[in-house]
Chains A and B, each alone.
Chain A
Amino acid sequence: MSAPTDMRLAGGDTRLLDGKVAIVTGAGGGVGYGIAMAMAQHGAKVIVAARRPDNGEPAAQAITDQGGTAVFFRCDVTQRSSIEATVAFTVETFGRLDCLVHNAVSGVGPPTEIQDIQPELFQGMVSSAVRASFDGAQVAFPHLKAAQGSYLLITSATGIEGSPYLPVYGMVKAAQRGFGKSLAREWGPEGIRVNLIGPVAMTPALVVAYKANPVLESRLVARTPLQRVGDPATDIGPAAVFFASDLARFVAGQTLIVDGGGFMGL
């Protein structure tokens, strides 16, 4: 079963985010791109924050070609100054910031047992997923407070159930959940909502994982009631639209697993 790619199937004409401005990190491809596309289709002005112009610029162009408003800005989330520049550019360009989506994470590497993982891989994932969640929060805070906006962290069911293949990925994704719940408690009184999405989608990273582990695809689909892997824009994107929209005004500190029902551990 293949994923629907028509945005109308995902409620693409509801304009839930008209007037809102969002930054999506790691939006040059995969889930980040899908979220950026969906948010733009629902009316948000989107900053495609990506480390590499060679995928960030085409991503922003593709969103624009679909009628959305998107601008690429180079952002390396492992550098606080780069996050600061991205937020400053966003506010300068669009006048406000309603939603920060932190999706970027460094390469997860091949399946490896914990005792054989190199410190560099560990540090890279901590920097891109965990430190950047903290830096993003601090930098975006005054703007999110002014807009009474939201912060959305992209986690994974791997952070809940662990992984026999990617233990460090599980660690950093779990760290984001502990962080996100705590931040939701701190920022609720400020009028800012913090939530998380745990997606499973057909992305370049998943293709790499399939190659490294040939049985992964069949097992993944077999455990999924909806019997397919999600599409980043039409399956994952709408969940981000919901959290960024006023429909989710009373939702805070929650993790929504968007994977076709494969993980039901919450």
Chain B
Amino acid sequence: MNRRVLLTGTGPLAAELSAGLRAGGHAVAQHAIVDVDKAAVTQIVADAETALGTIDTIVHVHQSAQTRTTVVESTTEQWVAMCEDSMTAAFHVTQAAHRVLSASEHGRLVFVVPTIGMAGAFGLAASAASAESLRALAKSVAKQWGKYGITVNTIAVGPQHVIAGAAGREVAEGVSLAVPAMGSPGDAATDLAPLISLLSQADAHFLTGTTLVADGGVWLTL
């Protein structure tokens, strides 16, 4: 079943997820969150609703740092951008999601985060903090919104999807001795977007509050 999807986020991961969802037959509106305030995010959701008619699935892609900076060397501005703004964006998206997803017969909220929140990562503390906060947000909201028929889940992806090149591999190797069981961290459009599609189906109505670790089989701690 094709769905109407709002995807909030920027960067290659968000773009590839959007492309993958479109290739899967879903109608997708992708919006960057530039102004991290409630009114701006509410407007984004309203605009997407106008464009799509109704919204069945909202996918929020975690705003992650693309380079590493240690806590001691970070400026407050860097911290705010990668941790607090990231948390605030997810908070506002979730608040705005309630109205539109309640109106859908198959309301789905999906967060996409890197596994660094679960594992911790050298030089990525701000992103790890915000990523882990999104996972907890998903669990809490899943508990609150089950009565509205809305499911809320998280997909955790390998750090290579947000940290490009050798640095991404270094981050992955820094938290686990394992190599991906599937041979790679996957392709966002063809390996990860189908999981969003899967969560959006009616048959997934009983799956909520969980984290699908989709890193090709590295972080096997759940």
The residues of A with any CB-CB pair to B shorter than 8 Å are: 80, 113-115, 117, 119, 122, 126, 130-131, 133-134, 137-138, 141, 158-164, 166-168, 170-186, 253
Across the interface, which residues of A come within 8 angstroms of B122, CB to CB?
182, 185-186
Residues of B within 8 A of A141 (CB): 71-72
A141-B72, A175-B87, A181-B119 as given contacts; A164 in contact with B140, CB under 8 Å: yes
B209 at the interface (CB under 8 A from A): yes
Residue of A117, A173, A179 near B125 (CB, 8 A) is A179
Check A178 against B71 for contact (C-beta < 8 Å).
no
Which of A114, A131, A138, A184 makes the CB contact (< 8 A) with B84? A131
Shortest Cβ distance from residue A128 to the other chain B in the assembled complex, whole angstroms: 12
Contact A166 B140 (CB under 8 A): yes
8 Å CB contacts to A: which residues of B110-128?
116-126, 128
Instruction: Decide yes or no whether B48 CB sits under 8 A from chain A.
Output: no
State A130–B175 Cα separation when bound (angstroms): 23
> Does B129 interact with chain A (Cβ within 8 Å)?
yes
Structural contact, A171 and B95, CB atoms closer than 8 A: no
The prevalent SS among residues of A at the interface is helix
Q: Evaluate contact between A171 and B121: CB separation under 8 angstroms.
A: no
Chain B neighbourhood of A181, CB < 8 A: 119-120, 128
Tell me whether B2 is interfacial, beta carbon within 8 Å: no
* Chain B count of residues within 8 A CB distance of the other chain: 48
**Which of chain B's residues has its CB closest to A112's CB?**
B144
Residues on A with C-beta less than 8 A from B83 are: 130, 134, 175, 179
Within 8 A of A (CB), among B63-77: 70-72, 74, 76
Smallest Cβ-Cβ distance to A181: which chain B residue: B120
Given A162-B142, A181-B120, A183-B125, A114-B98 contact (CB < 8 Å): yes
A133 neighbours in B (Cβ, 8 Å)? 129
Whether A122 contacts B91 by the Cβ 8 Å rule is yes
Q: Which residues of B contact A182 (CB under 8 A)?
A: 71, 116, 120-125, 128-129
Give residues of chain B (51-96) contacting chain A, Cβ–Cβ below 8 Å: 70-72, 74, 76, 79, 83-84, 87-88, 91, 94-95
- Chain B residues with CB under 8 A of A185: 120-122, 174-175
The 3 closest A-B pairs by CB, nearest first: A181-B120, A162-B139, A178-B132
B181 to chain A, nearest CB (A): 23
In the complex, A174→B154 CA distance in Å?
Answer: 14
B195, chain A: closest CB distance, angstroms: 20
Report B126-145 CB contacts with A as 1/0, cut-off 8 Å.
10111111111111111111
Asked if B144 and A159 sit within 8 Å, CB to CB, the answer is no
Given A115-B95, A162-B141, A182-B129, 15 more A-B residue pairs with CB atoms under 8 Å apart are A114-B140, A115-B94, A130-B87, A130-B133, A162-B137, A167-B140, A171-B134, A171-B136, A171-B140, A178-B129, A178-B131, A179-B126, A179-B128, A182-B123, A182-B125
